[in-house]
Structures are given as C-alpha cells and as structure tokens.
Structure 1
C-alpha cells in the first residue's frame, strides 16, 4: 500500500472526501464567477448559492479529516460528531437556493426556515447521541432530504433537465444512505459498504451542484 495511504486511518473514505472538498472549493469559485456574470442577480439568490457551496466544503472537509485522523479516541468522537452533523448542514444548504428561488415569498422563506430548524435539531441529536442506531440516523436524513416532495408543484417551475438532476441527486443520496444503513455490499476487504456510500454521496453532490450552477445561479 502506498505510504500516503498508510497515514490515513480509513484511506479510501478519507481521500475520496478530501477530493470532494477540493472539488467543492473549485465549485465555489465557479459559482462565484457565474453569479458575477449573471445579470439581475438578487443578493438573496447569490448568498443562497454560495451557502450551498460552503455546505459542500464543510461536509467533505469534516468527513475527510475524521476518516484520515489517527488521533486519540476522545478526539475521534468529536470529529465523528462533526462528520455526521455536517450531513444535516449539507441537506439544509442544498434546500436553501432551491426553496428561495422556486417558491414565492414568504412561502419559500418559511419552508427554508423549517428545514434549517429540523436540521439544527438533527445536529443537536448527533452531538448528544452519536451512537444512535444507524437506521434511525439514516431515516432522518432521508426524510429531511425528500421533504421537498411535500411541495411537488414547485418543481414545475424547473426545466426537465433540472428536475432530472434534482431527482438523480436525491436517488443517489438515497441509494448511498440505504447501503450505509444495511451495511452491505462489501466488495473487498478494503472497499466495503462505507467506501461505496462515500462514492454515492459524491455523485449525488455533483448532480445537485450542477442543478444549482446551471438553473439557479
């Protein structure tokens, strides 16, 4: 095994999400450029798109650091809590530009506030109960992630390719979540369900990033 892999506690999971963090930084730069070039851009829309990119950076950075670190057990517990909590941040961060753009005021703002309130509750739960059953945490992630189904008519404002990106991202996240929840398949000794879960998360993020970049920003 290459020496750089030996330094990581969980090599594949850490380096795939470090790559995700790096791509998210590039994505943030591209998003800012797109926002600057777009005429009649509202400040609220611009801030929400940047917030989405920052939530991507937060999730992949926290995950990469946690899976890389060989720190003491008490430090790993803190890093694990941050890793799991950032999932809620990304879910809410993804919703923000969609809801504020697609839904009329004040409906969009109210829906966004509700999503962030639920996400905050999830973060508190993770910080206080990190050893909650895997099925419980995954179920809460998925329920929050699919909450947009409550207001399906809002999706009618999006072009068909945008809806396809939104659905593809949601399905990829869901597939990854289910893989994580059931703990399989394990393709090899070094590439198990957790590594596969990480790749599905990255794929879902890519779909939603291009949705925001191409159709929201």
Structure 2
C-alpha cells in the first residue's frame, strides 16, 4: 500500500516489498484453507463468499508488493493505482462472506450493495481522477470499513468469536493509519504494512467462526 506524500529509501522499499510479499503467500494459503474446510460443509454461499474474500486479499497484497517492488517509474504509477484500488476491493471483499453466509436475508444486504457501489465509485475515481481523488479516497477507506457499525445489531447475532475478531481487525487497521501518516518516522510504511497484516489475520480468523 502506497503513500502519496513520501519517498522511501531503497532499504525501506525492500522492507515494504517483503512484508506484503509475505502477505501474498499467507493470502493464497488462507484462501485454500477456507475453501478446503468449506468443502466439508458443501455450502455454495460459503464457497462464493470465501472465494471473493480470498481473491481480494491476494489482489491487495500482490498489487502492493508489485508497487513497492518495481523500480520502473511508469510501472510504479500503474501499480500504485492498482494498489489503492485493491484496498476498496478488500474492504468490500471482507464484507462479502459475512453478509452472504449470515445476513443475506436481512436488510444488511442493502448496506452490502452500497459498499460494493462505493467500491466501484472508488476504483473509477482512482483511475480517472487520481490527484483530485486522493483525499476523498482515504476518507472512503475509513468510512467503508466502519460502516459495519450501522449493522451492529445483526453483527451481534454472529458467533462471538467472529464479532470479536472483526472488531479487533478494524481496530488494528485503524491504529496502523497513525503510522501510515507518520512520514517522519523511519520505516513508517513497513510498520503500517505489519498492522495491515495483523488486521487481515484477525479478519481471516473471524471467517472461521461464521
């Protein structure tokens, strides 16, 4: 995941690449793990939900790894857009199995549709209005993530483990934003990446208990 305001040293970019390269491997393993255990239940909603979630997780870490790993300036600009777009996809992708498995017959489905509509809007804005869109983009990330609280009552109906790990993941992501914005701190972006990994792992655990 890239920051628009900061230039990283070669060592920092190496660390940024390694941390989210690890995320790619963990995401692939996580997707296959979820699908394997789902096969024991043979539930189509779980298959669809976990496939979308796992794919969005892989795309996030892959695009971030490519962005930080490439030295070609033109490619870097392209991968940066994919990197930022993948954040929208992961947010919507994380909602997907939770809603499809446990809430598809409730009003939360309308919130789910709104989240995906915002994702399409966000990705479109990233590619068409990159510079003008960057401030709204960041606000949208935070808002979309915590819009889950609108559905707090249905969320409380989830298994306590799922609910707890969803909140833990959200808090970890949110704390990580402090380091994302802390440009004067050496390796701030690598630290941010570690928080992203922590948030992703927390939400992955939540999926097991749905």
**What TM bracket, shorter-length normalisation?**
0.7 to 0.9
Work out the CA distance in 2 between the residues paired with 1:152 and 1:185: 37
Cα distance in 1, alignment partners of residues 158 and 43 from structure 2: 18
CA RMSD of aligned residues (A): 2.1
> Which residue is 2:174 aligned to?
174
Normalised TM-score (structure 2): 0.88
Distance 2:143 2:190 in 1: 23
1:11 aligns with 2:23: no
Residue aligning to 1:82: 82
- 2:105 and 2:159 map into 1 onto residues whose CA distance is 21
Tell whether 2:35 aligns with 1:32.
Answer: yes
Taking the TM superposition and a 5 Å limit, the aligned residue runs for 1:1-217 are 10-38=13-41, 41-71=42-72, 73-105=73-105, 107-132=107-132, 135-180=135-180, 182-184=181-183, 186=185, 188=186, 191=187, 193-212=188-207, 214-216=208-210
Cα pair 2:126 2:133 within 8 Å, conserved: no
Write the distance in 2 (CA, Å) between the matches of 1:146 and 1:21. 25
How far 1:75 sits from its partner (Å)? 2.0
Cα distance in 1 for partners of 2:137, 2:53 equals 22
Number of matched pairs:
202
Distance 1:83 1:104 in 2: 29
| Equivalent-residue separation in structure 2 for 1:139 and 1:169 (angstroms) | 18
Q: CA deviation at 1:107?
A: 2.8
C-alpha deviation, 1:42, in angstroms:
2.8
Equivalents in 1 of 2:164, 2:143: separation in Å?
20
Distance in 2, Cα, partners of 1:140 & 1:215: 28
Taking structure 1 as the reference length, the TM-score comes to 0.85
Q: Which runs of 5 or more structure 2 residues have no equivalent in the other structure? A: 1-8
* Maintained 8 Å contact 1:145/1:170: yes
- Secondary structure of the equivalent of 2:130? coil
Q: CA deviation at 1:135?
A: 4.8
**Runs of at least 5 residues in structure 1 that lack an aligned partner in the other structure:** 1-5
Instruction: Measure how far apart 1:106 and its partner are.
Output: 5.6
| Per-residue deviation, 1:63 | 0.3
C-alpha spacing 1:24/1:131, structure 2 compared with 1 (3 Å): same
Is the deviation greater in 129-138 or in 142-151? Answer: 129-138
The change in CA–CA distance for 1:75 and 1:163 in structure 2 (over 3 A counts) is same
2:12 touches 2:190 (CA, 8 Å); kept in 1? no
